[in-house]
Amino acid sequence: LKNSSFSIIPIGGVEEIGSNMTIVRTENEDVVIDCGLLFPYEECFDINYLIPDFKFLDPKRVKSLILTHGHEDHIGGIQHFINFFPDATIYLTPFCLNLIQKKLSESKTNFKYVIYNSDSQLIFDTVNIFPIHVNHSIPETHGLVIRDKELNWGALYISDFKVDLHSSHEPPIELEKIKLLLQVCKRTAYFLDSTNIVYDGKTSSENELNLDLTQLINSSQKRIFLTLFASNVHRASYIAQAALNAGRKIVLMGRSVRHYFEAGYNSKIIPLNPENFLEPQAVKDSNEKILVILSGCQGDFLSALRRFSFGEDSNLKPTPDDLIIFSSKVIPGNEKKIYRIYNKLSEFGAEIVSANDALIHSSGHPGKEDIKILIANFKPDFYFPIHGESYLLKKHFEFIKSHYDNIDCRLIYNFHEIKFESSIPKIIKQDKLDPVIIHGKSLEIEKSQISQRRKMATQGTVFISFIKQKQLLKISTIGLPLMVENLLPKLEQKLLHQINNDLQSREDKYFIDQIKISTRQFFNNYLGYKPVTEFHLL
Amino acid sequence: LKNSSFSIIPIGGVEEIGSNMTIVRTENEDVVIDCGLLFPYEECFDINYLIPDFKFLDPKRVKSLILTHGHEDHIGGIQHFINFFPDATIYLTPFCLNLIQKKLSESKTNFKYVIYNSDSQLIFDTVNIFPIHVNHSIPETHGLVIRDKELNWGALYISDFKVDLHSSHEPPIELEKIKLLLQVCKRTAYFLDSTNIVYDGKTSSENELNLDLTQLINSSQKRIFLTLFASNVHRASYIAQAALNAGRKIVLMGRSVRHYFEAGYNSKIIPLNPENFLEPQAVKDSNEKILVILSGCQGDFLSALRRFSFGEDSNLKPTPDDLIIFSSKVIPGNEKKIYRIYNKLSEFGAEIVSANDALIHSSGHPGKEDIKILIANFKPDFYFPIHGESYLLKKHFEFIKSHYDNIDCRLIYNFHEIKFESSIPKIIKQDKLDPVIIHGKSLEIEKSQISQRRKMATQGTVFISFIKQKQLLKISTIGLPLMVENLLPKLEQKLLHQINNDLQSREDKYFIDQIKISTRQFFNNYLGYKPVTEFHLL
């Protein structure tokens, strides 16, 4: 890279959703944008999450991490990042700092940080980065304008946003500032969010929800239980205030709702102190008019919503006199978990209102009309769809191609380096690194081991130990139909026969392999599948 | 039950989707309607499916099974049913017979059957059952009118249907016949499909798809790959004919597409003989204009569509010159699998058209307007929502309650007996039996064993064998992070120490339990979770 140039390299969040991480590479430094986590496409059996593989980066070159906002797919890998790059400075906003401090408090991790806001300029060796206030579904979200010092190139990078011109709790996205910052550059590029690109319209304003939310709260005589994405503290705060106005007491249920409420209050974004709300125990047997805000709108197994819906919460159980409001959407993959909750609540006779029944949820991502507003405000020379799966990137690409003749749109994927050094950005494919799988105490677990787990889960296990000298054989199974207990004496006979006839004098490796093969075949005959077999020769 | 009365008892398909099975109980007989399979809500690790527990039924009373249509959630348990009730007679239509004969051909199972059509009357001891032709998404679907011989009660039972007044390949649902059969009864009841009840409109006619399907096929110069629910042979046949008209060669890929095409041809429902189509090998390197119909619209792991989309089919691989048509919908729970296929196809540059982009799929189930047509045709005294999860049953119930003052609508669940013996049906709750889990060679596997599999999948396993006399200890693990190999000598030391100090002289059960506890604690300290531990004391 020449002094005056820079590259942008997404290493997560493009071609998949989640684990957002992008490198701004200059001659001497790799500035990292975000460090998120990802949930895998295929069942990995209760693993915690995946994170990008930091081995792609040279620790000597990583001095800075800029966090654009506090969603888990942007900050979830932070503990691992700090372990790997302990000297890096983290640039973040007060709300995001609150979230991270809480997250890291258990492990007592220290880190260096700098608070920024939308007036800041972040100065690096050959690039300046300007945070841009944007609208999204969590407070204090920022896009970034990245410019080299000679103003050859200016790039607007916004992974998550919508254009909300009428929000009552924050200003609209800073369109004018984007224009001012970019129009002085010789060449410009956009990197924009693809999440909602299949939506033809304009994403609705957070403000448009107030009517239906207030009406639901004011007109119902029932107890109200409401779930939402807990990180949307503006909405949670609006709902709590509306309930207080309607004479309802507020109860928070679930770690995540409490966590974000506290961060919102501590960073002075919302005026409601969660300490003034009631505890679930306090309304256990009371007839008070309450509104309970619960974590778990995606139906997570250990969430407050699921516990409540299954009648497993010790203080509050669903009744026909309850109204359950889902101020949320279903993230693809969670349908079954959420419908199961609908079913359980229905069996208790509770009434359910979801975003299908009233305007009570709005996305945080841009529809086609939001994108058009950005381009009408300032038209870039180049355009790169980001933040979305391959299908959405392609849809985004096709939308730009078909609507804007004079924008050069390119499809990029993770580990593509977009090098802004001549008049046309050069795209260089870097070697891909698979994300790292994290389980238990923040430990890496290998793909091969996940595949072993899958085999045990689908085929059960057989454990055999054998004392050669004594001809003593012991067999036990885990996760096989109970009827196989009756087969074990037969298997024992078969194996002992095989040992006496063929294996007695053979070397250990051959011996073990043959026993395993026979065992797996034996079960395959009865069950139609071959259990994982472990053999101890003693 | 008196001579003149009967009961209806759903034992599957109400409060969950799938495993449809309903009993018509008379004084001397249990007539069974359908025998379907179910896929579980929670991950059961590649099990085949669940079926209703037949132990609810007395084999002496089960002489007849009526199959309403050939979908797997209505016939999928047939092998188990015949094993359990070998003397029962199965009433079915020619297409359904073809499907079942193929299904049972491998196990060479014999069964007694009677072919019925919509002119038939099925006569049992105290009830007569009249099959009613209805529209759905598979040929030869029937509802049933069930009447006692004294015409005190008449019930219309249709688990799957829509009202298609304009289909080009079959007559509309027999509304007039329903009216004629029921209006002579003193009292009447409806049991109707809840699957699509949240849809306010009228489900579109299969005919309405022809325009967009034909246009897609005629206007594209690309190779076309089309996937759909293979059981919809009317649509598959229409599409194949349209492609032939457009000068395209037809290729079938996937067992399921082939299976239903053959059944459709054999039972003379469709005129196209699949033997005249090309094999995938024949078009491997050719430039011929083809339309390939593939199995796997739900993204199943071993399906033709998934293999093709991942570039794993040896004959045909996706290219930017391919158009992929999804003439189907996403069944909840399959979103991630299907989006993964969208992503893979997009990465190959293929164009995707789904039911979001054109009118190329229509449901087989009634929206609210379809239900209104049935009630306008004949209004029953009583009404029971069936065929749907609890949430949908409740929505269906609320719809009937709010629109029809003088229909007495009741919510029922599986194992509720609805007894038609006085002027008001009596609802009696029977003891529920959990569905039976089937894995491998059609074998039952217990819930407890599935739970063992879950533990191994999420926490790995440790195997330990110990020869007491020799103080010889052996430890191995499966499905744990590779780093634990380094911990095993430490664990061995710890266990030997514990044995020498505390366990040497203890009885076996105590000895084994203590070793297991120590082992699980040891790993918990490092990993944050406790592996399944199996111990052989020798």
pLDDT tens digits, one per residue of A290-334: 999 999 999 998 999 999 999 999 999 999 999 999 999 999 889
**Mean pLDDT (whole number) for A225-247:** 97
Across the interface, whether the CB atoms of B458 and A458 are under 8 A apart is answered no
At B3 the pLDDT is 60
When CB atoms are compared, the residue of A335, A336, A480 closest to B449 is: A480
Across the interface, whether the CB atoms of A443 and B481 are under 8 A apart is answered yes
Q: Which residue of A has its CA nearest to B398?
A: A351
At B18 the pLDDT is 80
Distance (Å, whole) CA A297 – CA A231? 12
Distance (Å, whole) CA B341 – CA A153? 37
For chain A, the residue count is 538
Query: Could you say which residues from 430 to 449 on chain A have a Cβ atom under 8 Å away from some Cβ of chain B?
Result: 439-441, 443-446, 449
The string of pLDDT tens digits covering residues B101-117 is: 999 998 899 999 999 99
Task: Give how far A214 is from chain B: nearest CA, Å.
Answer: 24
Name chain B contacts of A526, Cβ cutoff 8 Å: 441
Across the interface, whether the CB atoms of B391 and A345 are under 8 A apart is answered yes
Across the interface, whether the CB atoms of B344 and A390 are under 8 A apart is answered yes
Per DSSP (E only), the strands in B182-268 are 187-193, 223-228, 249-253
Confidence of residue B89 (pLDDT cuts 50, 70, 90): very high
Q: Which of B310, B335, B448 to mutate to test the interface with A (most CBs of A within 10 A)?
A: B335
Name chain A contacts of B482, Cβ cutoff 8 Å: 446, 449
Distance (Å, whole) CA B369 – CA B361? 18
Across the interface, whether the CB atoms of B457 and A453 are under 8 A apart is answered yes
**Is the per-residue pLDDT at B157 higher than 90?**
yes
pLDDT, averaged across chain A: 95
Distance (Å, whole) CA B125 – CA B330? 43
Distance (Å, whole) CA A178 – CA A185? 12
Minimum mean pLDDT range among A42-46, A443-447, A513-517: A42-46
Instruction: Determine how β-strand B49-51 pairs with β-strand B436-439.
Output: antiparallel
Chain B contact for A538 (CB, 8 A cutoff) = yes
Distance (Å, whole) CA B77 – CA B82? 9
Name chain B contacts of A472, Cβ cutoff 8 Å: 538
Distance (Å, whole) CA B10 – CA A535? 48
**Is the per-residue pLDDT at B311 higher than 90?**
yes
Name chain A contacts of B532, Cβ cutoff 8 Å: 478
Output the CA–CA distances (angstroms, integers) from residue A151 to A8, A118, A128, A177, A179, in the order listed. 16, 20, 10, 16, 14
Chain A contact for B108 (CB, 8 A cutoff) = no
**Is the per-residue pLDDT at A2 higher than 80?**
no
At A1 the pLDDT is 58
Across the interface, whether the CB atoms of B346 and A390 are under 8 A apart is answered yes
Chain B contact for A283 (CB, 8 A cutoff) = no
When CB atoms are compared, the residue of A45, A335, A482 closest to B332 is: A335
Minimum mean pLDDT range among A5-9, A15-19, A459-463, A477-481: A15-19
Chain A contact for B458 (CB, 8 A cutoff) = yes
The string of pLDDT tens digits covering residues B465-523 is: 999 888 999 999 999 999 999 999 999 999 999 999 887 788 989 999 999 999 999 99
Integer-rounded Cα radius of gyration of chain B = 28
A232 phi and psi angles, rounded to 5 deg: -80, 70
Q: Which residue has the higher pLDDT, A437 or A42?
A: A437
Residue partners of A118: CB distance under 8 A and separation at least 6: A131, A132, A133, A142, A174, A177
The string of pLDDT tens digits covering residues B158-192 is: 999 999 999 989 999 999 999 999 999 999 999 99
When CB atoms are compared, the residue of B339, B345, B443 closest to A481 is: B443
The string of pLDDT tens digits covering residues A245-291 is: 999 999 999 999 999 999 999 999 999 999 999 999 999 988 789 99
Number of other residues whose CB lies within 10 A of the CB of residue B516: 17
At A3 the pLDDT is 61
Confidence of residue A505 (pLDDT cuts 50, 70, 90): confident
pLDDT, averaged across chain B: 95
User: Are B292 and B316 in contact, with CB atoms under 8 Å apart?
Assistant: yes
The string of pLDDT tens digits covering residues A326-385 is: 999 999 889 999 999 999 999 999 999 999 999 999 999 999 999 999 999 999 999 999
Chain B contact for A369 (CB, 8 A cutoff) = no
Q: What proportion of chain B, given as a percentage, has pLDDT over 90?
A: 89
